[in-house]
Chain A
Amino acid sequence: MIDSTPRASVNSAAGTPEAARLRLVETLVRTGEEDRAAFRDLYSLTSAKLFGICYRICGERQAAEDVLHDVYLTIWKRAGAYEPARASPITWLATIARNRAIDWQRAQTVRRASPIEDAPPILDTAPLASDVLLEAESTHQLHACLDSLEERQRAAIRTAFFDGVTYAELAEREAVPLGTMKSWVRRGLARLKACLEG
């Protein structure tokens, strides 16, 4: 079992993932205090991650840039309410980015039937703990449980998360009837839930 690393013990360990995470927490908290220099640092530390999210879901560069712009406006307004104890900074920021991108995508009248081709591929497995943005307390339980699913169930759930698509779009992409896709996902989610709670 992986326990979360006590923060106090790593304060001096600059360069470690935990130190990087701590720096990100501090930058976000200072942004919440309307510190504009901190906000600029936050942009340089996180915009590549958040742009990756916006680009994959929006599927076009201009829209992804516009959404990224809105995402940082939202971050500036809400950062004062960020609570380090409740969520890792990158989870908090990435959730805003994904939701904004999905809002944009759902507002479009023309839907993408296929995934964009030039976005960097989603990783197959969880990165090692050297990833500075990795949540220290993450136990990778979700990854293990996803691995226990049937391939098509796992693929559907991953695509829904990373591409931000609806059931209808998912079914169209896989060229299966809507009911079939719903069945795959529901069975996958039921199994996933049992695994996560087990």
Chain B
Amino acid sequence: MSDVLPPDVRDDDLPDTMAGEFALGLLDGDARAAATRRVLAEPGFAREVEAWRTHLAQLFDLWPEMPAPDLFARIERSLYGAPAPSVVALPARAPSKFWPSLAAFSSVAAAGLLVVLFTRPLPVPQPPVAPRVVVETSPTLVASITPTAKGTPVTVVYDARAGSLRLTEASLADAKRTAELWVIPAGGTPHSLGLLQTHGGTALTLDAANRARLAAGATLAVSLEPIGGSPTGLPTGPVVATGALSRV
């Protein structure tokens, strides 16, 4: 039996395989942007992308392991050692779990450093990771994200100096899905800014790449994603609210 398609089958006759191409990560530039728009606009296409990702995930079994460097102390410093954790709950919501256990963490970090000292041939202590503060000419941007269906608009305030984003309470998610916030730079593709709290407001501290994307004119969008957020790095669920960033 031949593996080859009959020679008279032209590519034009092939079924639409864009979802598979997108899931594999083959597309770039305009094609990637077009596929992203289809993910946002066509639930069927989004489901197909998700199905491809699920199938392709079986290939992870074939990926060989490699001895990994011991980065754990560095990871801990980034998470708990920096002045502010990357994601914090708003004070109004609940006391953060980060601080009461600071003492416990110090011991853990010390233990981690000991491990590094005794397992690395040349222990080079890494300097604490300081958050990079981008100097902006306009430090505050605001947006009102309006739900596509009924619902209260969500107010977003972005402090560019601190790289922090605060959102008022959003009742966009349901029991089975998480609301995820995206920034879509003008003419660009969506990048995740983080997940919204189910109850109460949300505060997010952005990394340098996302800070660079937040500019007046950029679009903010909220999509509904599997619990835990989009597994793909791009929106996979319906967009339920959008709004544009503008200067105060």
Contacts and interface: CB of A to CB of B under 8 A. Distances in A.
Interface of A: 34, 36-37, 40, 43, 47-53, 55-56, 65, 68-69, 72-73, 76-78, 80-83, 86-87, 90-92, 94-96, 98-100, 102-103, 106, 119-127, 131, 133-135, 138, 140-143, 148-150, 157-158, 160-162, 164-168, 170, 182-183, 185-187, 189-193, 196
B228 A52 contact: no
A106 B227 CA distance: 27
27 contacts: A36-B101, A37-B108, A40-B112, A47-B71, A51-B65, A51-B69, A55-B66, A68-B69, A68-B71, A72-B75, A73-B75, A77-B194, A81-B227, A81-B229, A87-B57, A95-B60, A106-B28, A123-B61, A126-B62, A140-B58, A142-B56, A149-B3, A158-B59, A166-B25, A186-B21, A190-B15, A191-B5
Given A160-B25, A186-B21, A187-B5, A73 B66 contact: no
Given A73-B79, A77-B86, 17 more contacts: A50-B68, A53-B60, A72-B71, A72-B75, A73-B78, A76-B79, A80-B228, A81-B229, A83-B228, A94-B57, A106-B28, A142-B58, A160-B25, A162-B59, A186-B14, A186-B21, A192-B20
B228 A69 contact: no
A82 B20 contact: no
Contacts of A68: 68-69, 71
A190 B14 contact: yes
Nearest to A47: B68
Contact of A138 (B17, B20, B61, B195): B61
Interface in B121-177: none
A124 B62 CA distance: 7
B53 A189 contact: no
Contacts of A149: 3
A131 B58 CA distance: 13
A182 B108 CA distance: 51
Q: Categorize the interface residue count of chain B.
A: 35 or more
B57 A95 contact: yes
B45 interface: no
Contacts of B228: 78, 80-83, 92
B20 A131 contact: no
A153 to B, nearest CB: 8
Given A34-B97, A36-B108, A166-B28, A48 B86 contact: no
A162 to B, nearest CB: 7
Contact of A94 (B21, B63, B78): B63
Contacts of A167: 21, 26-28
B4 A150 contact: yes
Contacts of A40: 72, 108, 112
A124 B63 CA distance: 10
Chain A interface SS verdict (over half): helix
A110 to B, nearest CB: 15
B120 interface: no
B119 interface: no
B229 A78 contact: yes
A135 B231 contact: no
B213 interface: no
Nearest to A167: B26
B178 interface: yes
B63 A122 contact: yes
A83 B227 contact: yes
Contact of A189 (B21, B57, B63): B21
Interface string B184-198: 000000000011000
B205 to A, nearest CB: 11
A126 B26 contact: no
B117 interface: no
Given A43-B75, A183-B11, A90 B68 contact: no
